[in-house]
Chains A and B, each alone.
Chain A
């Protein structure tokens, strides 16, 4: 249908878009190994010293530790609430079902600044002190929907006769959950958890409003960049942040793409 010239132009366009998407990340990765502490291009030589310098910086370690704890706890909360929500909404039809699923989508549909500011007002109003837990609550609001989406997609693809067969064979609801439901949704749960962690791990817009005085890794980077401090360390951490968020996403992608159900 397309002429030859159109095809060539579209190939060129797609190539340019691909380069546009990935060159900035490639450049960022190279800067992490910049031998000079002046951030100009091209970099004069390669070194790995900034990684060890970052690793030995107590401020960076504290931030790393806080980010890991906040990510794991938010993921835990999201797993419980997100899968409960998916179970409740997957089969039953009742009044208000659509508004409930809308409720869970709201935190990713609204601009992050509104979620962040709203939670900030809420915590101040209740007299909560900002802590690890306020960060966890903030992250959990948008992590729940990730787990919810993964689990509900899996439940919708699973035939209801599995659960009926289990009941027919005399299993209690708890046995059915343990031996039928859980194996069916296991990989969806793991994928949801990985994605939720990846989202929490590098979130900054909401975190800024719910963190108080302590820094997660992205908050620490944001502060360093704005003040123009420790830029070589920033580059090294930036590469670590990229890699740590891509690994869970790649794993999650493998877990959810089952070849049996694959349709072009």
Chain B
């Protein structure tokens, strides 16, 4: 094909329908993009968004307590039931544990990210970043289960403690175990945004702070920490939201008093076969997250995602 074909043969029948189609799409990139985007968007609207709407509608229905059949009439009964015992206590416990996990992840991740950015050499930094992210790809169920083995009364934790001459620690099947396991599982989600925010702090800021007579700790508190807040906030979105919706960890390492929001949703559907109540209860973490996201947005979390 000669190089001037596209210009010289405009309107000629040469090349046929295929060529005119491709010429057409080249001239109108917007229309081409629309053609490409329409299939995935249609699929997402028809399945994912429709499913979210179905969830919302379902939350206003009820089930017949004898037959278990869905009753398709609108009522707020499910939402009223959320205010009854034991649900407020469960919601409170979930928010408490999610907050504890988030704060623990921040405390663990900040010095670690600081080490990666300022102390570690280039190769070590890359290796440790990979080592931090890789566990996220390991089955989440397997990671929870590994802690069940470790925390068992005759597991590795007590073997280690006894070896050091310390007394045994029996935290298996308690809220402490859930706190530990959630911290372990979501920790990488906190490291990455904190690392990214610290990496963006220019070295000259630290020099300027030192030149002005600030001690290391003052620099940390007055310069580095404020600049890391968006990263910490971004990481907290993951640690907080993921804890709110989880039902695997409470059922594997939690105890009798460890029901979380996720557990209620899981059991309402799986054991009680009450899908409408499960749907209504699933609105609780959505509502909490909406408030949480609004707060984190103010702290600049979305610029650091």
Which residues of A approach B to under 8 Å, CB–CB?
A: 1-3, 6-7, 9-11, 13-14, 17-18, 20-22, 24-25, 27-28, 31, 39-42, 80-82, 84-85, 87-89, 91-92, 94, 100, 103-104, 106-107, 109-115, 117-122, 124-125, 137, 141, 144, 167-174, 176, 195, 198-199, 201-202, 204-205, 208-209, 218, 221-222, 225-226, 234, 238, 241-242, 245-246, 249, 253, 264
Known: A107-B48, A113-B245, A245-B137. A2 touches B131 (CB 8 A): no
CB-based contact A92/B241 at 8 Å: no
**Interface residue from B58, B119, B244 paired with A111 (Cβ < 8 Å):** B244
CB-based contact B128/A14 at 8 Å: yes
Query: Which residues of chain B have C-beta atoms less than 8 A from A91's C-beta?
Result: 29, 33
Query: Which residues of chain A have C-beta atoms less than 8 A from B145's C-beta?
Result: 28, 221, 225, 234, 238
Query: Which residues of chain A have C-beta atoms less than 8 A from B18's C-beta?
Result: 172, 174
- Tell me the nearest residue of chain A to B20, going by C-beta: A172
Query: Which residues of chain A have C-beta atoms less than 8 A from B111's C-beta?
Result: 9-10, 13-14
- Tell me the nearest residue of chain B to A241, going by C-beta: B139
Distance between Cα atoms of A25 and B142 in the complex (Å) = 9
Query: Which residues of chain B have C-beta atoms less than 8 A from A172's C-beta?
Result: 15, 18-19, 21-22
Known: A42-B159, A111-B241, A246-B138. A92 touches B33 (CB 8 A): yes
- 21 A-B contacts, Cβ less than 8 Å apart? A6-B216, A14-B111, A22-B135, A81-B39, A81-B40, A88-B35, A88-B37, A89-B37, A91-B33, A92-B33, A117-B279, A120-B275, A121-B51, A121-B275, A122-B50, A141-B48, A167-B26, A205-B140, A221-B142, A222-B141, A226-B252
- The SS class assigned to the B binding surface is helix
Query: Which residues of chain B have C-beta atoms less than 8 A from A176's C-beta?
Result: 22
Determine, out of B1-9, B74-82, B84-92, B227-235, the stretch whose residues face the partner at the interface.
B1-9
Query: Which residues of chain A have C-beta atoms less than 8 A from B108's C-beta?
Result: 17, 20
CB-based contact B119/A10 at 8 Å: yes
**Interface residue from A9, A173, A209 paired with B26 (Cβ < 8 Å):** A173
**Interface residue from A1, A125, A144 paired with B40 (Cβ < 8 Å):** A144
B156 → chain A closest CB, angstroms: 4
Query: Which residues of chain A have C-beta atoms less than 8 A from B149's C-beta?
Result: 27-28, 31, 39, 41
- The SS class assigned to the A binding surface is helix
Given contacts A3-B216, A22-B135, list 14 more A-B pairs with CB under 8 A: A28-B145, A82-B40, A103-B44, A113-B245, A113-B247, A113-B265, A118-B55, A121-B279, A170-B6, A171-B1, A173-B21, A198-B137, A221-B142, A238-B142
Which 8 pairs across A and B sit closest by C-beta, in order of nearness? A111-B245, A88-B37, A173-B22, A170-B1, A92-B33, A202-B139, A88-B36, A122-B51
User: From residue 172 to 215 of chain B, which have CB atoms closer than 8 A to chain A?
Assistant: 184, 187-188, 206-207, 210
CB-based contact A10/B216 at 8 Å: no
CB-based contact A100/B41 at 8 Å: yes
Known: A25-B138, A172-B18, A264-B122. A81 touches B43 (CB 8 A): yes
CB-based contact B51/A2 at 8 Å: no
B297 → chain A closest CB, angstroms: 14
Distance between Cα atoms of A112 and B186 in the complex (Å) = 14
Distance between Cα atoms of A100 and B282 in the complex (Å) = 24
B49 → chain A closest CB, angstroms: 7
- Tell me the nearest residue of chain A to B43, going by C-beta: A81
Distance between Cα atoms of A32 and B32 in the complex (Å) = 53
When each residue 109-129 of chain B gets 1 if its CB lies under 8 Å from chain A and 0 otherwise, what string results?
Answer: 001101110111010000010
Query: Which residues of chain A have C-beta atoms less than 8 A from B156's C-beta?
Result: 27, 41-42
Distance between Cα atoms of A244 and B245 in the complex (Å) = 26
CB-based contact B248/A205 at 8 Å: yes
CB-based contact B141/A84 at 8 Å: no
